[in-house]
Structure 1
Amino acid sequence: MLAQTIRASRSSLARAARQHAVISRRTLIAPTAVRQADLVQDMYLRELKNYKPQQIKPSDAEGHVQKFSVPKPPPSPEESDIANDLKSYENQTVEVEGQSAEGTAAPEEDWFEDEEEEAVVPPGATH
C-alpha cells in the first residue's frame, strides 16, 4: 500500500512538473506585434509638419470689427425747469389709498364676502 501511494505521488508530481514547464514555456515566449504602416496617420503628420500659418496683418480685421466712436453726452437739463418741476411736485396733494380726495375715509369693500347660494330646486318641482 505504501508502494502504491509513493507511485501515485511520483506520477502526480511528474504530471504537475510537466504542466508547470509547459506553462512557464508559454509565458516566456511572447509574440511581438509587427508594426504596420498607417497611411492616413503618416499623411496627417506630414501635412502638419509642412503647414505654415499665414501672417496676421492689421488690415485683416477690417470689415469684421466696427470702429469705436465715443457716444454723445446727454443734454444737460435746464436749471429753471428743475425749479418749476420741484415746485409743482411740492404743491401736489398726497393720495393715500383708502381715502377720498376730501380727506374722509372711503367705505371699505369686503372682497371676501361669500355670495348667497341660490336654493337648489329638484327637477320636476314647480315654484
Structure 2
Amino acid sequence: MLAQSLRASRQSLARVAWQQGVAVSRRTFITPTAVRQADLVQDLYLRELKNYKPTPVKASDAEGHVQTFSIPKAPPSPEESDIASDLKSYETQQVEIEGQAESGAAPVEEDWFEAEEEEEEAAAAH
C-alpha cells in the first residue's frame, strides 16, 4: 500500500511540474522599449558625404606631374662593326702557350719533388 501511494504521489508531482513548465515556456513577443538615440556625428558625416561633389578631371591637369615618353635610342648592332678588320687582327695574333717564354728561350724546369726527398730523409733518420 505504501508503494502505491508513493507511485501515485510521484505521478501527481510529475504532472504538476509538467503543467508549470508548459506555462513558463510559452513564447511572448517583447517590444523594445529603448528609443533609438540620434548619433549626431554619424548624421553629420552622412550628410557631408551626400553633399560632396568631386571636381571634374581635365586633360591638362597631368601636364606638370607626368613626364612625356620618348622612345630610347636602339643599341648598335654587332653586325654594323668592322668584322673584317676584327677577323684579320684575330688571325694575326701570336699564339700564347702556357709555360713557354715569350723570347723563345728554353723553359726552366722546376723540380716539383724536392719536398718528398726531404721527407724521406727525415723519415730515415728516425
> TM bucket by the smaller chain?
0.5 to 0.7
Q: What's the TM-score, normalizing by structure 2?
A: 0.57
Q: 2:115 — aligned with what?
A: none
Are 1:18 and 2:23 matched, yes or no?
A: no
Q: 2:57 — aligned with what?
A: 56
How far residue 78 of structure 1 moved from its aligned partner, in angstroms, is 9.9
Q: 1:69 — aligned with what?
A: 70
SS at match of 1:92: coil
* Distance in 1, Cα, partners of 2:77 & 2:64: 36
How far residue 89 of structure 1 moved from its aligned partner, in angstroms, is 2.0
Aligned amino acid, residue 28 of structure 2: L
Provide the identity percentage: 53
Q: 1:29 — aligned with what?
A: 29
Q: 1:20 to 1:82 in 2, by over 3 A?
A: same
Q: Which has the higher helix share?
A: 2
What number of residue pairs does the alignment pair up? 103
How far residue 34 of structure 1 moved from its aligned partner, in angstroms, is 4.2
Q: What's the TM-score, normalizing by structure 1?
A: 0.57
Aligned amino acid, residue 28 of structure 1: T
How far residue 69 of structure 1 moved from its aligned partner, in angstroms, is 2.5
* Distance in 1, Cα, partners of 2:46 & 2:64: 35
CA-to-partner distance for each residue in 1:51-99, whole Å, 9 max, x for gaps? 1111101111022101122334556789684322221123334557xx3
RMSD over equivalenced CA pairs, Å: 3.6
**5+ residue gaps in structure 1?**
110-115, 117-127
Q: 1:13 to 1:87 in 2, by over 3 A?
A: same
* Distance in 1, Cα, partners of 2:39 & 2:16: 49
Aligned amino acid, residue 12 of structure 1: A
Larger radius of gyration: 2
Q: 1:88 — aligned with what?
A: 89
